[in-house]
Amino acid sequence: MQNPKNLNPPVHLHSVATTRRVAVSHREVAFWNTMIGKKVVMAITGIALVGFVIGHMLGNLKIFTGPETINVYSRFLREVGMPELEYGQLLWLVRIFLLICVVLHITAAVQLTRMSRAARPIGYATKKDIETTWAARTMRWGGVLLVAFIVFHLFHLTGGLVGFGPGQFKDLAVYQNVVAAFAVWPIASFYIIAMAALCLHLDHGIWSLLQTLGWNTARNEATLLMISRVIAVVVFLGFTSVPVAVMTGWIH
């Protein structure tokens, strides 16, 4: 016979677990609805995106060692994980992850802007931007320019759908594609301008995320500001070196 104490235990356990899950998801939603919650989401997705940007820049520098290295690297990105994974599967997972980060980053940014405007609907009488840098003031428009750049870039150097003559773009021939791409100077110039916007965005963005995560103290503030600036400038120089090398004939 069943012990009376054990009557319906699975139902009871199930409901406890469900209640906890609901409580957790309520807590997460409530956190997302706060300004600090959105800032934390911006900071965490920002770290992932900065990581990608640095990795991508280092990968691009392989172009200076010749066509073979970078073309093999491009194939490797698609073949990594095989045979357990399908061709390109891991790359697709990374693409989806990055897309989620970009969407969350932008959604949080737009909502934070709305929240701070709602908190001060009238605006400041004098808008002097005391103690803010140029990088801080260009975060929104710089961000919009970066989104436009990324969309163009994917159609351009990943898809070969814009900026190339017929038959000029070849799948997995990254070296040849990049040389052909930057032989068109308006496109090369657009890339350089976009990299300047990226540099400004990172200069302020990295510093902001370190603040959001509470890593700054009165003593390390100058060092963290310097680290943000160094990363931003290194990323700018690393990326722009490629179009500049093609335009000057170093890479051909």
Minimum Å distance from CB 252 to ligand HEM?
Answer: 15
Q: Which is nearer to ligand HEM, 80 or 216 (CB)?
A: 80
Q: Which is nearer to ligand HEM, 37 or 44 (CB)?
A: 44
Q: Which is nearer to ligand HEM, 91 or 234 (CB)?
A: 91
Longest alpha-carbon distance in the chain: 88
Question: Residue 178's closest CA among 96, 53, 102, 66?
Answer: 66
Contacting positions for ligand HEM (CB under 6 A): 53, 56, 60, 74, 77, 91, 95, 150, 153-154, 157-158, 174, 178, 191, 195, 198, 239, 242-243
Q: Which amino acid is at 14?
A: H
Question: Residue 106's closest CA among 147, 137, 148, 134?
Answer: 147
Minimum Å distance from CB 184 to ligand HEM?
Answer: 13
Minimum Å distance from CB 189 to ligand HEM?
Answer: 11
Query: How far is residue 26's CA from residue 20's CA, in Å, rounded to a whole number?
Result: 10
Minimum Å distance from CB 213 to ligand HEM?
Answer: 21
Q: Which is nearer to ligand HEM, 202 or 210 (CB)?
A: 202
What DSSP state is assigned to residue 34? S
Question: Residue 149's closest CA among 203, 102, 114?
Answer: 102
Cβ-proximal residue to ligand HEM, closest one:
74
Query: How far is residue 75's CA from residue 150's CA, in Å, rounded to a whole number?
Result: 21
